[in-house]
Structure 1
Amino acid sequence: MDNNINRYAEAAEMLKVLAHPVRLCIVNGLLEKGECNVSYMQSCLKTPQSTVSQHLQKLKAAGIIEGRREGLEIFYRISNEKVAELIRILIQAS
């Protein structure tokens, strides 16, 4: 049995961040589109911009996504390949 509890703790924290329907939708959308800005996500999710931004901050803080600034806009993309693979498996299975 593996006694490296830190590795499990990190995985559990990542799963906690992903364990919200809006965040799963954001990550899956980024997988499909590559990258997009908050306005695009807001229109797709039919959710207020402030709500989308809060979810993006949680995903960014967890190292799941990263942003690229272009003028006044920030375009987000997935920065964690493990998460990308996990979401592909989860969404494909449902």
Structure 2
Amino acid sequence: MDKDFDKYNDVSEMLKVLSHPVRLCIVRGLLEHGACNVTYMQDCLDTPQSTISQHLQKLRTAGIIEGRRNGLEIFYKVCNEQVENLIKLFFGENN
């Protein structure tokens, strides 16, 4: 067995961030629809803007998504290939 717990810790932290249903939904939605802004997510999820923003912050901090500013709006997209592969696996979307 590999006793390098640092790499297990990194994966564990990523899975913790993904373990919330709203965050899973956000990540899957970004993968399906491409870059989206908070307003679009808010409308799709019927969830308050402040709640969406809190979830986005956790996903950004974990290095799962990144934002690109366009004027006053920020468009988010998934930037972690490992997470992209996991989401496809979780939802049976691998080719």
Following superposition, the deviation at residue 62 of structure 1 comes to 0.3
For 1:64, give the aligned amino acid. I
Q: Aligned-residue CA RMSD in angstroms? A: 0.9
Match of 1:63, SS state, is coil
CA distances 1:6-47 after superposition (whole Å, capped 9, x unpaired): 000000000000000000000000000111000000000000
Gaps of 5+ in 2: none
For 1:3, give the aligned amino acid. K
Match of 2:17, SS state, is helix
2:50 matched to which residue of 1?
A: 50
2:59 matched to which residue of 1?
A: 59
Q: Residue 30 in 1 paired to residue 23 in 2?
A: no
For 2:70, give the aligned amino acid. E
Distance in 1 (alpha carbons) for counterparts of 2:45 and 2:91: 17
1:16 matched to which residue of 2?
A: 16
Following superposition, the deviation at residue 92 of structure 1 comes to 1.7
Distance in 2 (alpha carbons) for counterparts of 1:32 and 1:92: 13
Identity among equivalent pairs (%): 66
User: Across the two proteins, how many residue pairs are aligned to each other?
Assistant: 93
For 1:61, give the aligned amino acid. T
TM-score with structure 1 setting the length: 0.97
Q: State the 4+ residue runs in structure 1 displaced beyond 3 angstroms.
A: none
1:69 matched to which residue of 2?
A: 69
Distance in 2 (alpha carbons) for counterparts of 1:3 and 1:51: 38
